[in-house]
Structure 1
Amino acid sequence: MRQQTNSLAQLALQKFKKNTWGVLSFIFIILCTLLAIFAYLIAPDDSENANQMHLSIHSKPPGFQVEMLKIPGQISEENLFKEWFFGEQNSGTEIPISSYKFKTDTLSVIPYSGDREQALAKEFVVSKTFPTKLSIKEIEKKYIQSKTFLLGTDKYGRDLLSRVLIGTRISLSIGFVAVFISLIIGISLGALAGYFGGKIDAAIMWLINVTWSIPTLLLVIAITLALGKGFWQVFIAVGLTMWVEVARVVRGQVKSVKEMQYVTAARALGFKNFRIIKNHILPNIMAPVIVISAANFAAAILIESGLSFLGIGAQPPMPSWGSMIKDHYSYIILGKAYLAIVPGLAIMSLVMAFMLIGNALRDALDVK
């Protein structure tokens, strides 16, 4: 029996490997996951939430380059692991400059002002601003560097590439948590309804039909307003609205499987209902659940983006693709459409990858 199970799994894996779009989507999702995990190590702006603002260089085009003076922040002993995964909290202040000049113990800089008139010079005392025992050349090398914004800057002068990279973490995490919540609730209620039937089935089906009749986005907004605005509240709200389809599929699968001979044999051996459901029924009905999970993952990303666009999703300064589109959709008619198109393309590509991998899994796990 074990050998047959392995052979069926291998056949499904072989069918999946033959699906080019499915394999490419899987690779793309893995790359996005790695980007999300190590976003702060890759992003040019490693400050917390990539929130370094430079209003003098706002809305600059991709490839914009400027000299940046970094004023070191308060030195504190931060956990290196925390900096890698949550950003550097005391990253200091960055000032875009047009030119600079050292005078004995003073650094005189002219802030960047674009095409406007030259800005007034600012002076910093070297011994008080920078760490001691550093020569002028060492200060120039470490704290005055040319910075290139590969995707340009947003309307607040923040690095758009860094915001998009860290926004990947928001979208993937909302998908994982929401799908996990929906699977726990959907599989539990669907298995109970399908296995026991009767009044339990009628009560659970009534709950499913009531939830199904309410528009998803409206229900998410209602739950979000009840729980409050915030990052974790969105996770719970999206997860609580996506279990219905899982429950319906699991219920139907359990009703068709519970009359099989191996289930009857398990009952005859005196196994408890919970053990029969967990060990004998659920492992044999997971194929359609896996396919639905991939589709729900894509739906969760879209719902979170919609909530952030409406202003009730992830709250600023946390970078979310939906909120980035909200902040810059008006720039489409101002000749700077890339500010809204870049996060829009990120949403489209990630959602399409999950939809394609869902289709590939459906074909690979099809018993026919």
Structure 2
Amino acid sequence: MKTATSLTGIALQKFKKNFWGVFSFGFLIVCVLLAIFAYALAPDNSVNANQMHLSIHSKNPGFDVLMLTIPAKVQNQNSLSIFFFGRKNVDTEIPISKYIIRDRGVEITEYTPDGTAGLQKEYPLSLFPEAKSAKEISTKYIAEKRFLLGTDKYGRDLLSRMLIGIRISLAIGFVAVFISLVIGISLGAIAGYYGGKIDAAIMWLINVTWSIPTLLLVIAITLALGKGFWQVFIAVGLTMWVEVARVVRGQVLGVKQMQYVTAARALGYRDYRIILRHILPNSMAPVIIISAANFASAILIESGLSFLGIGAQPPIPSWGGIIKDHYAYIILGKPYLALIPGLAIMSLVTAFMLIGNALRDAMDVRG
């Protein structure tokens, strides 16, 4: 068995020995796969999983009901678009309690939550293009549909909304961390390398930004940019660069005194080459750990913004938005409507924090 001698190899071996770090990493891989295949896995693959059935709202997990599907007009949409963005032309789905096949169509009794007789309607055979006779309507267009996590207050499939909501949480974390790394590393490296008035000016900006509460600053930026999906990404990213900049500045202040940096200057290398190729690669260990924590913070901030109504706007499914819609149900006898997305947020954030702790232990040279 070969023993790793490089610092990266040693850190990787130490990380593999950390059970919770490896477990959390595997959990995140599963979440990423669920986000990629969300529409393929979701029972409701309409855009934003927004197929509403008001007659079956707020049903318990495992609820099933007969569903009559009336197909919509077929629109040209390629399979790749459906895979990533969902079906644009959704069929009309009607929950029913019973049906009778007639000569010219089907007569249904709509489902009612209180068990009373619902409205009776008749739909002609012409609405069902793939049914050659009225008998085929029952086999091709009527089926029992089960909602594994129940339905929300609008009768939408909660499982589908949760699966697509993973995309929002992971996307906000990735984009926000990327923006914070670009700004934080750039300003921190410039401040630490050049020092003097440049360092003083950047540190003044860092201290001013640091003194403003994060959530308040995010709300202000969001209101200035407008409510929306991408605005939240930018707002969160613009508030998370401060800690990165401070850490990078401190690392650069120490690394730039090393002999190999002095040698690079003596050879006449330009400053940007020294920073990019010699200083930053040896300063990234703490930044990687901070990025994991910032990823978790970004998810929490986005959930908070969605709960306040200024995050991802309906009908885009967001875990924070789902909690906002159903937090009152905690005292109305259906707490799972708010607890399910809450547990999902907690699990994802905990996974990132455990990975951050594992990376910290793995990169600790004293260990």
Specify if TM > 0.5: yes
The amino acid of 2:53's aligned partner reads: H
> Between the two proteins, what is the percent identity of the paired residues?
74
Residue 77 of structure 2 is aligned to residue 78 of structure 1: yes
Q: 2: distance between equivalents of 1:245 and 1:308?
A: 24
Q: 1: distance between equivalents of 2:255 and 2:204?
A: 22
The amino acid of 1:190's aligned partner reads: G
**3-state DSSP class of the match of 2:72?**
coil
Q: 2: distance between equivalents of 1:136 and 1:26?
A: 53
Unaligned runs of 5+ in 1: none
The amino acid of 1:65's aligned partner reads: D
- Name the residue aligned to 2:22: 23
**3-state DSSP class of the match of 1:161?**
helix
The amino acid of 1:123's aligned partner reads: E
Report if aligned partners of 2:184, 2:242 keep a CA contact under 8 Å in 1.
yes
Compute the displacement of 1:137 (Å). Answer: 5.1
- Name the residue aligned to 1:41: 40
The amino acid of 1:44's aligned partner reads: P
Q: How many residues align?
A: 364
- Of 339, 342, 349, the residue aligned with 1:344 is 342
Which has the higher mean CA deviation after the structures are superposed, 15-24 or 108-117? Answer: 108-117
Residue 99 of structure 2 is aligned to residue 100 of structure 1: yes
Q: 2: distance between equivalents of 1:146 and 1:62?
A: 15
Compute the displacement of 1:114 (Å). Answer: 2.2
The amino acid of 2:55's aligned partner reads: S
The amino acid of 1:77's aligned partner reads: N
Residue 232 of structure 2 is aligned to residue 234 of structure 1: yes
Report if aligned partners of 2:58, 2:153 keep a CA contact under 8 Å in 1.
yes
Residue 330 of structure 2 is aligned to residue 335 of structure 1: no
Q: Relative to 1, partners in 2 of residues 1:50 and 1:6: Cα closer, same or farther, differing over 3 Å?
A: farther
Report if aligned partners of 2:102, 2:134 keep a CA contact under 8 Å in 1.
no
The amino acid of 2:166's aligned partner reads: T
Q: 1: distance between equivalents of 2:141 and 2:87?
A: 16
Compute the displacement of 1:101 (Å). Answer: 1.4
**3-state DSSP class of the match of 1:89?**
coil
Matches within 5 A, 1:138-153: 138-153=136-151
Q: 2: distance between equivalents of 1:336 and 1:121?
A: 30
- Name the residue aligned to 2:165: 167
- Name the residue aligned to 2:123: 124
Compute the displacement of 1:354 (Å). Answer: 0.2
Compute the displacement of 1:268 (Å). Answer: 0.7
Compute the displacement of 1:122 (Å). Answer: 1.0
- Of 276, 285, 300, the residue aligned with 1:278 is 276
- Name the residue aligned to 2:198: 200
**3-state DSSP class of the match of 2:269?**
coil
Compute the displacement of 1:141 (Å). Answer: 2.8
- Of 213, 216, 223, the residue aligned with 2:214 is 216
- Name the residue aligned to 2:292: 294
- Name the residue aligned to 1:308: 306
Q: 1: distance between equivalents of 2:197 and 2:285?
A: 28
**3-state DSSP class of the match of 1:241?**
coil
Residue 55 of structure 2 is aligned to residue 56 of structure 1: yes
Matches within 5 A, 1:347-362: 347-362=345-360
Q: 2: distance between equivalents of 1:143 and 1:293?
A: 49
Q: 2: distance between equivalents of 1:134 and 1:50?
A: 30
**3-state DSSP class of the match of 1:99?**
strand
Which has the higher mean CA deviation after the structures are superposed, 140-149 or 287-296? Answer: 140-149
Q: RMSD of the TM alignment (CA)? A: 1.3
Q: 1: distance between equivalents of 2:165 and 2:314?
A: 12
Q: 2: distance between equivalents of 1:132 and 1:71?
A: 11
Compute the displacement of 1:10 (Å). Answer: 1.1
- Name the residue aligned to 2:241: 243
Which has the higher mean CA deviation after the structures are superposed, 49-58 or 107-116? Answer: 107-116
Q: 2: distance between equivalents of 1:184 and 1:140?
A: 58
The amino acid of 2:310's aligned partner reads: I
Q: Relative to 1, partners in 2 of residues 1:196 and 1:327: Cα closer, same or farther, differing over 3 Å?
A: same
The amino acid of 2:289's aligned partner reads: V
1:207-229 superposed Cα distances (whole Å, 9 cap, x missing partner): 00000000000000000000000
Q: 2: distance between equivalents of 1:133 and 1:300?
A: 50
The amino acid of 1:96's aligned partner reads: P
Q: Relative to 1, partners in 2 of residues 1:107 and 1:133: Cα closer, same or farther, differing over 3 Å?
A: closer
Q: Relative to 1, partners in 2 of residues 1:134 and 1:266: Cα closer, same or farther, differing over 3 Å?
A: farther
